[in-house]
Structure formats: C-alpha cells, structure tokens
Amino acid sequence: MAKKGKDTTMKRSAAPSIWRIPRKQFRFVTSISPGPHTKKSSLPLTVLVRDVLKLTKTSKEVRAAINSGRILIDGICRHRGNFPIGLMDVVDIPSTGIVYRLVPNRGELTTIEISDSEKNQKICRIEGKTTIKNGDLQYGLHDGRSIILDKDSKFNVGDSLLLNTPSQKILDSYKLAKDSLAMVMKGERSGTLGTINDIKPGSFSRKSMAKISINGVETELPLSLLLAVGKDKPPIKIMESA
C-alpha cells in the first residue's frame, strides 16, 4: 500500500464496482478505512467529493475542505478522507448550499440533491436486535449505528426507522411486510421501488424471500435486499424522480 498524506491508497482497478470512477486515467485512488459501512457497500469521502461530485480536482483540495470542517456527514464533521460514506448517508457542504443523499442505482451508489429541510432525516434498516441489561433492546442499523430502546419496543430485523440526525431521534418506522413499499438496495434492480405482495419465511437452506411488484411486474427477491420505505410513498426523497 502506498501512502498519500494520512490516507492509504489502492489500485483503481481493485476498487469496488459501486465506485463510479474512471479506472485507467490514474493508477491509484484513496482507499477506505474501517467505519460504519463495509468496503463493498461504501466509498471514501475523498472519492465522493473529488471523483463523483467533482467539487475539487485534487486530493489536496479535498483535504483542505475536510480539515476546515466544511463537509458534514449526517450532521457531523468528518476529518478523514478515507471515511466510508454509504447507503442513505447525507452529505452537507454548507459553503455550496447543496445537500446530497447517497442512494442505490443499478448496482452503484449515486448522489441526489435533497432539500435543506431533509438534511437531518435518514432511513436506516435494522440489521440486528439484541437483549441487553435490564431487558432493554439494542438495535444495530445498516450504517453502523446502535440504538437502545426499552423492552416494549416492537421493531424487528428488517424493519426501517426514519431518524433525525445526528440526535438519532426516531421520527417514524416502517415494517418490512406485505403491502409495504420497499426499495431494492443491491443488484441490477437497485434503486427501484415496489410493493411487497407476499413474504416466504426462510428455512435452513433458503433465505426469506419476498414477492414484490416493480413497475407492474412481480419478481422474487431475498428479503435482505429490501429497504422498507413506507406504505404509499417514501417520507423523504430517496430517488431522483421522488
């Protein structure tokens, strides 16, 4: 691994497919550090600002912006160029007056502009649920967050929470169930919305599956690929046409 400032680098040819960057123009690109998202499901802050949004031309310019506290992720200043940015993260750059949300699109992560009124709202999928001291429940979310609620909370793995960030106050919740509206998070259909018609429970050898209507066509997808986003329409903008 080569060093570039405080951020490590990697060969562009080895970058995950969700990074929408040219592979042959340059040899190296900023690598990604451990954080709230996995390497395969996120991209470094430097790559997002320079290569995707094209707000700067060089890593030096990105570092200057980061060091000056001009880039906020989910309402918090991030000071590492290799910090991982992933699904539904909100990127706020006050000096430009533009706020972006990262959403899935045909196997990649893409950015959409959102209104200033939505920059503190985010949908998170529950990926884990554990009982802790005093019977309280700890929920692990897809972006690395942990939320502790009392034992009377009724959320399940797969459900989604609409959060205020960075406070983590729960504004609403959505069940991953029949008749729910869901977004496909990964694969060729990622970024599309559909209504769940039925759910098939999993077994020892088979994942839980959902029958979902997307653009009038019913298909079957693993439940783990779906993000519940409401009943009739999403509560916030999560796709370009929303």
pLDDT in tens, 129-143: 999 988 999 999 999
Return the number of other C-beta atoms located less than 10 Å from residue 67's C-beta: 12
Distance CA 132, CA 80 (A): 32
d(CA 209, CA 142): 19
The whole-number pLDDT of residue 227 equals 98
166 by DSSP, 3-state: which? coil
List the Cα angle 196/197/203 in 5-degree steps.
Answer: 85
Residue 6: per-residue pLDDT: 53
pLDDT on residue 1:
36
Rounded Cα–Cα distance for residues 57 and 242 (Å): 30
The answer to whether 225 and 240 have CB atoms below 8 angstroms apart is no
Distances (CA, A) of 94 to 68, 70, 116, 176, 219: 12, 7, 10, 35, 41
Q: How confident is the model at residue 12 (pLDDT cuts 50, 70, 90)?
A: low
Whole-number pLDDT of residue 5: 44
Global pTM value: 0.86
When mean pLDDT is compared across 61-65, 89-93, 197-201, the lowest value belongs to 61-65
With a CB cutoff of 8 Å and minimum separation 6, the contacts of 48 are 85, 91, 102, 111
pLDDT at 149: 96
CA distances from 153 to 17, 99, 100, 181, 230 (A): 38, 32, 31, 22, 19
Residue 27 has pLDDT above 70, yes or no: no
pLDDT tens digits, residue range 201-240? 988 778 999 999 999 999 999 999 999 999 889 999 999 8
Whether 60 has a pLDDT exceeding 60, the answer reads yes
Name the one residue in this structure whose structure tokens are 């916030």.
236
The C-alpha atoms of residue 130 and residue 136 are separated, in whole angstroms, by 8
Nearest-angstrom CA–CA distance, 157 and 139: 8
Q: Is 60 exceeded by the pLDDT of residue 2?
A: no
Mean pLDDT of 163-170: 96
Look at the block and give the residue holding tokens 């040219």.
22
Residues 17/107, Cβ–Cβ less than 8 Å: yes
Q: How confident is the model at residue 57 (pLDDT cuts 50, 70, 90)?
A: confident
What is the pLDDT, as a whole number, of residue 95?
87
Q: Is-contact 228 174, C-beta < 8 A?
A: yes
Region 154-171 average pLDDT: 96
pLDDT of residue 3: 40
pLDDT of residue 38: 85
Please, where are the H alpha helices in the chain? Answer: 45-47, 59-67
Dihedral sign for Cα 181, 184, 189, 192, please.
positive
